[in-house]
Amino acid sequence: MNDPFKIIEPTSISFSGGRTSAYMLWRVLQSNNGLPEDAIVVFANTGKELEQTLKFVHDCEVNWGVKIYWVEYRPDGKGFEEVSYETASRNGEPFELLIKKYCKLPNPAQRWCTGKLKIQTMAKFLSHKGFEGSLSHLENISFVGIRYDERRRAVKFDPYRLPLVGAKVTKEMVGQFWREQPFDLELPNLNGVTMHGNCDLCYLKPLSQIQALIREKPERAVWWASMEEYVSKHGKIEGTGDNFSKNRPTYKELQRFTANQNELFDIEEAIPCFCGD
């Protein structure tokens, strides 16, 4: 049987900063006796990841002795900037630059923040490093951390790009792996879901989850509310809204509801996204 983690051609590995993509990287390192010369690991920081995520990426670098390239979106020049654990943005700066450039907000129907902040930013960086291909396609990001039990996400990708699917890796397997390691992502793992992961109050998260995160730390809503207010004032583009989800209250309203201990009825599931776990 072919090893889906074996590197047989120039390959880029997309590291989201979560447990699943880190497990994928570990399997790659095991299958190849380290990272091959024709492989490259890239983490695209939006500036809205929690400090625990950034520390986890850095811990993987240090504990596994692997080079991880940290990149961030920039609206001009090369379209990206290479950063590090020490210099990475921590207050949403790349995401804010993107919103202010286009004067509009992404939303569940038009999730272009992922495309701009992660996919295209990594693709431009990879092109700069000599990886060939169209910047608009996922082929530039060869290995993506999607598990066997994430079929809704997996159907959008070339199966070759999903080694965890090929190896039939599930969230239970990933969870067991991290329970046995000397370090871990310092965020709660709730039945295989990292509620705090990726952008802290991402509009794709269920409403009840966003409210819980605001209740835990009310200042989390400030940046999101400020972006909605900015677009409301400056972004009068036909067909775009003034908040991240037209079917929900604004983040300012959510902050107020949560402060008043009000619960909004919610039966939503998280919307799958390339950002990953």
Residue 58: the pLDDT is 98
Whether residue 101 lies inside any domain: the answer is yes
Domain membership flag for residue 243: no
Question: Is residue 158, in this structure, part of any structural domain at all?
Answer: yes
Taking residues 19-41, report their average pLDDT.
96
pLDDT tens by residue, 134-146: 444 555 568 999 8
Q: Is residue 238 part of a domain?
A: no
End-to-end alpha carbon distance in the chain: 27
Does residue 76 lie in a domain region?
A: yes
pLDDT 10s digits, 48-59: 999 999 999 999
> What band does 239 get if pLDDT is binned at 50, 70 and 90?
very low
Residue 46, pLDDT above cutoff 50: yes
15 within a domain of the structure (yes/no): yes
Any domain includes 184: no
Number of structural domains in the chain: 1
195, part of any domain: no
Listed in sequence order, the residues at least 6 apart from 250 whose beta carbon sits closer than 8 Å to its beta carbon are: 225, 228, 242, 243
Q: What is the mean pLDDT of the chain?
A: 87
Which residues span the domain enclosing 104? 11-179
Encode pLDDT of 249-276 as tens digits: 999 999 988 877 655 545 445 455 556 6
Question: Residue 75 is part of a domain; what is its CATH number?
Answer: 3.40.50
